[in-house]
Structure 1
Amino acid sequence: MTSTTASSSPRSLAGRTILMSGGSRGIGLAIALRAAADGANIAMLAKTAQPHPKLEGTVYTAAEQLEAAGGKALPIIGDVRRDEDVENAVAATMEQFGGIDIVLNNASAIDLRKTDDVSMKSYDLMQDINARGTFLLSKTALPALRDSDNAHILTLSPPLNLDPKWAGSYLAYTMAKYGMSLTTLGLSEELKEDGIGVNSLWPCTSIDTAAIRNMPGGSELARVSRSADIMADAAHAILTRPGRVATGNFYTDEQVLREEGITDFTKYSLGAPEDKLMADFFL
């Protein structure tokens, strides 16, 4: 069965092919593992060939987890900032799995310092990975997505909100993340006739990841966060909806799950009461 063949269940990702940026750890890996449990094919374009001194996981260990979960994995070493690496990733995914059904723009860089303190190197890194990388991966995969019977582009970026609070708090980061969201806004309109669902997804609360735990006070931050499983379940719900209908949305994880009939989110919490969880950025 090729990646463009509809699965036997309308709410399963069995046989579907996902090409994602990053995914060695954190939210991206959680989303990939949820898809792998259905029997999806997951190609991961990431730089993490070698272990990070402070963060667990490489693209190879992630691929092993995906295979163990029931999926098929294709680890691809590359940089979403490099045109040729993205082109090679699309070509390798097509060769291995016969098509692409889903692009997941997961890779992201973060720097929450004030403008005085943000180096232009850090600014450029965020723009290149977040905004440009999302545009590039989506653009490069479009011919393959047009051949899928239920294509999706899902980007992990926040709702667009021009309240000065966000730009005033984290200007460089906000500009880069909103570049990802603008890609969702523009492509959802541009690709309507192609039937490609283009959406963004963002968590309502802080999500427990290695990056959170490595921050000062990380253990306490983790306790007032939710597990990445809530994002994985929300992404799964979006990606199993008809792309031709479900498009142009800036979803939150809670919104998606409520639409699926889920109203109790306590299973995703890591110790703190629901009313004590830390809200995420941009909400």
Structure 2
Amino acid sequence: MMKNSLKEKLKSGKCVYGPFMMTASTDTAEILANVGCDMIMIDGEHGAMGFETAGKMISQIKYTQTTPLLRVPWNDLTMVKQGLDTGASGIMIPMINSKEEAERAIQYCHYPPNGVRGFGAGRASLFGINTESYWEYAKEELLVILQVEHVKAVENIDEILSVPGIDVVFIGPMDLSVSMGVKGELDHPDMQAAYSKVLDACQKHNIVPGIMTQPNLMKKHIDLGFRFLLGGIDAMFIHQGAKQLLEEFKSSINS
């Protein structure tokens, strides 16, 4: 059976990093996949792509050393099912605020008897050609990532992480700060206390902690104990590169 290399890295205690993809571009997916990051998170929650395009992007990524992941729009059976059928090696489910919501998310990710996911001939099984091998892969190798991005989730974190089947808990700092009444103040003492509470619960339940990071914060996040880091967005990479050349051009003609 094929192994999920990203899951193997996390099991061995390694830290992993990858960017978000917001644009609906198979070409950009292929380019980013060849950079050498551990993973790429295709953002089906806020990004421009639908499941059809996300599946094609995943197909471009999975033939490299980079692992394709997908964030679905919501903790909804149909969305999770369709998201997994794209062939993503891991699924991120947003806004998990209670044990009951976590239980539903895990159920949505797995086939019976461990869950309620329906089995069909989607892209994940090469449209029915590799059904048996994908069945085993989904049972053992799928990476399940639940998001903690609300103060309620922090309050309930110990109960949430008691649910079997969670591989990664991922903090969304911006949404969390909004829910705590300190919008954008990511260094606020209440935010730092929330990080600590989540990190302690992850250690207790042997679950990998993750966070949305950014330049100049990666080492801080790793030193705190986060091992699953997402940071940077494809659109930002393009914009920053183009802007840098434009500024050089303007400087050249004005000097």
- TM (norm. structure 2) is 0.39
Q: Which entry has the higher C-alpha Rg, 1 or 2?
A: 2
Give the structure with the larger strand fraction. Answer: 2
